[in-house]
Structure 1
């Protein structure tokens, strides 16, 4: 086994790794110069045709470590069946890997890469597969669906990658992964990447990989101690409001707000300007002249907020930047370090705030491990805090205006004339002038209650397609039945019903895997699971986000729509769940005594 420390490893260039010319050209065009430790150690081994087990944390550059050698060895003319298959635990990761392949294949005309995951219609996937693809990137569940239907031919597969293998097994995909490994050609080259090496991963490696080279990357990344790191748990639709409140309450001098895409930089900058903030966007499409002008404005105080992508912010060194906000959390952990390093320069202190959506909790944990730091959780500033800041700012404006004696003297005469003419108290005239100055925008923020996210007040197209089942009495009025339990972090749980049960031959691991994958949930989000003959009861967080709820409604297990809905008291998720109950599992605590007494089906 080879061990590499990210901080001490020699730094070869990509040109020295033996990549194909077209791949090297794409890497150079993308602005990459020096490979990361996992890339430098892995790429030559994979190019040599050997199997690999790579042990490294998320965000250390694993995608390029396997994508670049695979692209270098592909046969561009052969699309009769996929040459490479990458298995990923979630659809988000599958999409990111797919985008990376397309970026690295930008100088290879005709290379086709297809993402395959649940929640997406089969039609586009089937069309692409019939047309022919070189690389398939997918989640185990949907790959198995295609294999069962005979719509995915892996008989000529040359490369197979297991990305985040430990996460896939934790989500209940172990059986699917083993089935895929066993049903593909023995001659294929396999690369397995994992953050940890539990016994199950070790067993997989010994059984399905051929004398693999084990490469372990020891990360020693630390962030600037002058930077205070915080995070805010927030749903995606809340991000703009959360950022607006933070901008009003935080005492910042200048700020960079990082987004994941070029389009989002423009959209967010426009929204901020509409709310009265001095913001501009910078991304890869911005010309050098415009970039230089924006940076100069940021330095001299002509611009306060720069909304940027990672690429556009490279090399940006402005001492005035006091805050960095990760509006979109980066999936590359080195990018996180580089982002927050834009503040706290030249011995100054800085603040880094990251927005974390519920499905990105795993990234937060990976950041903590990678940076050897624990960001502190913060809460969204309340309306009272925002209003206190606005009133204080209003006081400062009045004080500043009073210092301009010439203008004050002029308007004093104007106000005196009005008071004498209309016999109105001076304080009322001052208030009326403030109204005129303020315009249609209210000075104070209304403290609107948070919407109940689990309520469904709108009918979707899917509701209509299902015969208006979303309009059943009580469906939108009553939330899920509250569970008596809460998770270890105090998160309240609720009981949900899904339309698959014992007769559909489902097991708890399948339920956990499907719901976690499609809803972006983690293993710790699950409570008890009770399987009945025709349905199952699952404990999930009581405050499921609306987008998560919609995604789960369209989820399928064993080809059947689960039709997630709140349970309104018709059963219990406890071990004594009533007559006809089947297997019961607490995802944290393992199988209950009841489940152990019942032999599991060996399908």
Structure 2
């Protein structure tokens, strides 16, 4: 039986102090020379704290229990020692030597790509990402050919294990990345089964942003005398970011956002919403209002995602509208603002979101839209971050109009300085002489032509509205779906949540009431799921059985109180999901 966590406890800040700038290099840790060469090629020089604390224990073959949030460099912390240990292995493995479990397909792709970069100088090295929502044949072909490292989501890894296409008998290292997120998404049973299928001699590295009792339990049962590494990043990340909130009704959110964008001085911005469809809808609305905005979500292909991020990085794009999952691992220096258009379901998500700005000692701005019914979450956020959020004053009509006039004048100045206007000057002089119209009036007419039909200035009665009363969710927020799995198939709510989140990128908190019946189950999901998402859900499996999803109905409820047989959507928004079967 593995022992409990050892007494080794390394606590370090999330940024490297100036006096450590000349500290140990990657070469000092005994990493393989070709791995160090690859790191130099991508500009990595000094290890981050999580890397400095993790590489040595992992190279020594020791288990690791790491407390670290996103943005601390933990992928390299486990990837570099794994690559060093595997550097002498032959290519074309029949079974993988290392397996990395991640909660989402986006993170699986990201981790696999990181392995590829770090192994660029290792001939014959191969890594394969396997995740839900992708076709099986390429994954099966890759596994048959043989790989050194597999990076996958728990559901798809379990599928390949049951098919016999993934053999873990020769595994030397197992990494659980963002373990708390995997458990929150309902993958606890799958994680246990995967760990049980690995050799008792394998090395385990578990990384988590939080350490709830469930994570400690896994560590006590499956890790052998692990090095306990704590990277205390939350407080230092939050204190570099100014946090403000605005009380607003759902119907006024877009107008409030527009005013902030018009007046607030920002460089790059991420606007967080809850659903993939909302990213597309809001980005489109912002573009029609003249802002350089684009959506980023789990439905995007990796090349499109990379192109979008590159556009933000080089200034062709100013605003990303994103879901929590899609923004994981995103680190762009230009991000000066994070705006929570939809309030997150939990405080950890809020900390992850605002961690996209205010990094490495830079200052950042975080703005939170809050409805009256969401005030409890505002208080929870303040307790978690240990600092009050400042209630912001939304820009007034006068401030918006002053900003519009200043930008309009700036555009005129830029054209006057940069363009040869002689041909236009001659045309205007001729027009003025023929029509006997003043130059000012001609200029005004031309400005109107350029600006379009939308009024240049706001009317004085268009003052912003706060949220005067509770904001009820719109009737179309969720839809009920029927899946062809129930009690007779021995399904549990966690299996359903795991299958859905693994295929769609939805979080467990976005899944509403679940009712499990004899031969089917009913599940509340966000309204407006795309046909492609529904197609992927329909082919998803729990065990060997497809979900075969279709629209269904919970029907009217006779008792307004939550019963032991269901989980209500309201419950799922107010606390972490605890799915219960319907009898």
Counterparts of 1:233-252 in structure 2 under 5 Å?
Answer: 233=272, 235-237=278-280, 238-239=282-283, 242=286, 245=289, 247=291
Residue 197 of structure 1 is matched in structure 2 by: 211
In 2, Cα distance between the equivalents of 1:358 and 1:150? 43
Equivalent of residue 496 in structure 1, options 463, 477, 481 = 481
Task: Quote how far apart the aligned CAs of 1:73 are.
Answer: 0.5
In 2, Cα distance between the equivalents of 1:326 and 1:231? 5
In 2, Cα distance between the equivalents of 1:133 and 1:434? 67
Task: Quote how far apart the aligned CAs of 1:193 are.
Answer: 0.7
In 1, Cα distance between the equivalents of 2:429 and 2:231? 72
Secondary structure of 2:155's partner?
helix
* TM-score for both structures, normalised by structure 1: 0.65
Root-mean-square deviation (CA), in Å? Answer: 4.8
Task: Quote how far apart the aligned CAs of 1:172 are.
Answer: 1.2
Is the 8 Å Cα contact of residues 228 and 352 (structure 1) preserved in structure 2?
Answer: no
Which range moved further: 369-378 or 178-187? 369-378
CA shift in 2, pair 1:375/1:566, >3 Å: farther
CA shift in 2, pair 1:591/1:262, >3 Å: closer
In 1, Cα distance between the equivalents of 2:576 and 2:307? 44
Equivalent of residue 3 in structure 1, options 4, 10, 29 = 10
**What 5-or-longer segments of structure 1 have no aligned partner?**
250-258, 270-280, 283-305, 309-323, 341-350, 420-425, 446-484, 599-603
CA shift in 2, pair 1:395/1:41, >3 Å: closer
Residue 121 of structure 2 is matched in structure 1 by: 107
Secondary structure of 1:221's partner?
helix
In 2, Cα distance between the equivalents of 1:49 and 1:591? 37
Counterparts of 1:404-483 in structure 2 under 5 Å?
Answer: 411=428, 414-415=431-432, 417-418=434-435, 442-444=452-454
In 2, Cα distance between the equivalents of 1:28 and 1:247? 38
Residue 85 of structure 1 is matched in structure 2 by: 99
Residue 232 of structure 1 is matched in structure 2 by: 271
Q: How many residues align?
A: 471
**What 5-or-longer segments of structure 2 have no aligned partner?**
1-7, 245-268, 294-302, 371-393, 456-470
Cα displacement string for residues 334-385 of structure 1 (whole angstroms, at most 9, x for unaligned residues): x35x444xxxxxxxxxx52569899999765314468698721469x9xx99
Is the 8 Å Cα contact of residues 232 and 377 (structure 1) preserved in structure 2?
Answer: no
Is the 8 Å Cα contact of residues 56 and 218 (structure 1) preserved in structure 2?
Answer: yes
CA shift in 2, pair 1:93/1:81, >3 Å: same
Cα displacement string for residues 423-481 of structure 1 (whole angstroms, at most 9, x for unaligned residues): xxx69x99999888887995439xxxxxxxxxxxxxxxxxxxxxxxxxxxxxxxxxxxx
Counterparts of 1:556-575 in structure 2 under 5 Å?
Answer: 556-567=541-552, 569=553, 571=555
Equivalent of residue 44 in structure 1, options 51, 56, 65 = 56
Residue 216 of structure 1 is matched in structure 2 by: 230
Is the 8 Å Cα contact of residues 271 and 320 (structure 2) preserved in structure 1?
Answer: no
Is the 8 Å Cα contact of residues 272 and 342 (structure 2) preserved in structure 1?
Answer: yes
Residue 76 of structure 1 is matched in structure 2 by: 89
Is the 8 Å Cα contact of residues 339 and 368 (structure 2) preserved in structure 1?
Answer: no
Cα displacement string for residues 547-590 of structure 1 (whole angstroms, at most 9, x for unaligned residues): 654543443333333243333x464588899xxx9953345477
Is the 8 Å Cα contact of residues 227 and 352 (structure 1) preserved in structure 2?
Answer: no
Cα displacement string for residues 254-274 of structure 1 (whole angstroms, at most 9, x for unaligned residues): xxxxx99664467x59xxxxx
Secondary structure of 2:52's partner?
helix
In 1, Cα distance between the equivalents of 2:412 and 2:500? 57
In 2, Cα distance between the equivalents of 1:136 and 1:398? 53
Which range moved further: 489-498 or 138-147? 489-498
* TM-score for both structures, normalised by structure 2: 0.67
In 1, Cα distance between the equivalents of 2:284 and 2:48? 34
Task: Quote how far apart the aligned CAs of 1:68 are.
Answer: 0.5
CA shift in 2, pair 1:576/1:128, >3 Å: farther
CA shift in 2, pair 1:89/1:113, >3 Å: same
Is 1:514 equivalent to 2:499 in the alignment?
yes
Equivalent of residue 375 in structure 1, options 348, 357, 366 = 366
Residue 478 of structure 1 is matched in structure 2 by: none
Return the structure number with greater relative CO, CA threshold 8 A, min gap 6: 2
Is the 8 Å Cα contact of residues 271 and 321 (structure 2) preserved in structure 1?
Answer: no
In 1, Cα distance between the equivalents of 2:496 and 2:124? 38
Counterparts of 1:591-602 in structure 2 under 5 Å?
Answer: none
Residue 71 of structure 2 is matched in structure 1 by: 59
In 2, Cα distance between the equivalents of 1:332 and 1:153? 29
Secondary structure of 1:585's partner?
coil
Task: Quote how far apart the aligned CAs of 1:218 are.
Answer: 1.0
Equivalent of residue 29 in structure 1, options 28, 31, 41 = 41
Is the 8 Å Cα contact of residues 343 and 368 (structure 2) preserved in structure 1?
Answer: no
Secondary structure of 1:512's partner?
helix
Counterparts of 1:300-379 in structure 2 under 5 Å?
Answer: 306-307=315-316, 325=319, 331-332=328-329, 335=331, 338-340=333-335, 352-353=337-338, 364-368=350-354, 375-377=366-368
CA shift in 2, pair 1:190/1:443, >3 Å: same
Task: Quote how far apart the aligned CAs of 1:147 are.
Answer: 0.9
Secondary structure of 1:146's partner?
helix
Is the 8 Å Cα contact of residues 345 and 509 (structure 2) preserved in structure 1?
Answer: no
In 2, Cα distance between the equivalents of 1:98 and 1:411? 61
In 1, Cα distance between the equivalents of 2:110 and 2:444? 51
Is 1:584 equivalent to 2:566 in the alignment?
yes
Is the 8 Å Cα contact of residues 340 and 369 (structure 2) preserved in structure 1?
Answer: no
Larger Rg: 1
Cα displacement string for residues 87-130 of structure 1 (whole angstroms, at most 9, x for unaligned residues): 11111111111111111111112111111111111111111111
In 1, Cα distance between the equivalents of 2:177 and 2:576? 27
CA shift in 2, pair 1:354/1:395, >3 Å: closer
CA shift in 2, pair 1:398/1:142, >3 Å: closer
Is the 8 Å Cα contact of residues 538 and 573 (structure 1) preserved in structure 2?
Answer: no
Is the 8 Å Cα contact of residues 64 and 227 (structure 2) preserved in structure 1?
Answer: yes
Is the 8 Å Cα contact of residues 231 and 376 (structure 1) preserved in structure 2?
Answer: no
Residue 555 of structure 1 is matched in structure 2 by: 540
In 2, Cα distance between the equivalents of 1:24 and 1:398? 49
CA shift in 2, pair 1:412/1:223, >3 Å: farther
Residue 182 of structure 1 is matched in structure 2 by: 196
CA shift in 2, pair 1:395/1:23, >3 Å: closer
